[in-house]
Amino acid sequence: MSLLFASMAFAQLDTNSVTVTASRTLPSPPDQVIFGVFVTSDLTKSLADVVNAVSSVGIVQANFSTLTQVTNPQLGLQWGFGLVVPFAKLKDTAAALATLAQSITQNNSGLTLSFSVAGTQTSQIPACPIAGLISDAGMQAQNLASGAGRSLGGILAMSTSVSAPNSGFTYGIYAYSSVSSSTSTYCSLTVKYALGN
């Protein structure tokens, strides 16, 4: 696995201590695809009715994302769902959704279904290499201490920060959008060291 280094992101030197931040960016390639599934109904249908109609493709009430009013060609509702599947099931899921879209229309249920790929996401977020970050921070702090004519003492405090990849689908009542997905995890470690004479 390749690692990208972003060293010396932050350093602060005072009379008794030095604080440095070391960071690394780790690749987090997406391994899941997110389908946006939309069902249009008349005003009499409930969420339970719609979920029941699409349950054969694995959609449950927890997948519900949006509800909007439409007038195409008459007044109705459009129910939005997010369906996440592994890349390996992309083709099968798309085929199942296409089949369901046809059958829903043909059985005179009063429903129509459309779908599209809304984005991707990763299911595996790599662990931050804390030992490596401490080593990086120690080298930065040693260089700063040496430059100031001081010796480097022990660690006084540490804090970490992790920025995980974003999902390609935003869930929210009345809010559906496709967003760009980050494919990396950003880890940083801020360490405060004591300074000796």
pLDDT tens by residue, the chain, 197 residues:
333 334 444 566 667 899 999 999 988 888 899 999 999 999 999 999 999 999 999 999 999 999 999 987 789 999 999 999 999 999 999 999 999 999 998 887 889 999 999 888 888 888 899 999 999 999 999 999 998 899 999 999 999 988 876 544 444 333 333 344 457 888 999 999 999 88
The sheet with strand 64-71 has its strands ordered as: 64-71, 75-86, 32-41, 112-121
> Of 125, 193, 126, 129, which is closest to residue 160 (Cα–Cα)?
129
Instruction: Report yes or no: 57 and 101 within 8 Å, Cβ to Cβ.
Output: no
Cα–Cα distance measured from residue 136 to residue 46, given in angstroms and rounded to the nearest whole number: 56
Angle between helical axes of 47-54 and 90-106 (0-180°, round to 10): 120
CA distances from 120 to 86, 88, 92, 145, 182 (A): 10, 13, 16, 45, 9
* Distances, alpha carbon 154 to alpha carbons 13, 36, 157, 169, in Å: 15, 52, 9, 44
CA angle 70, 79, 82 (to 5 degrees): 135
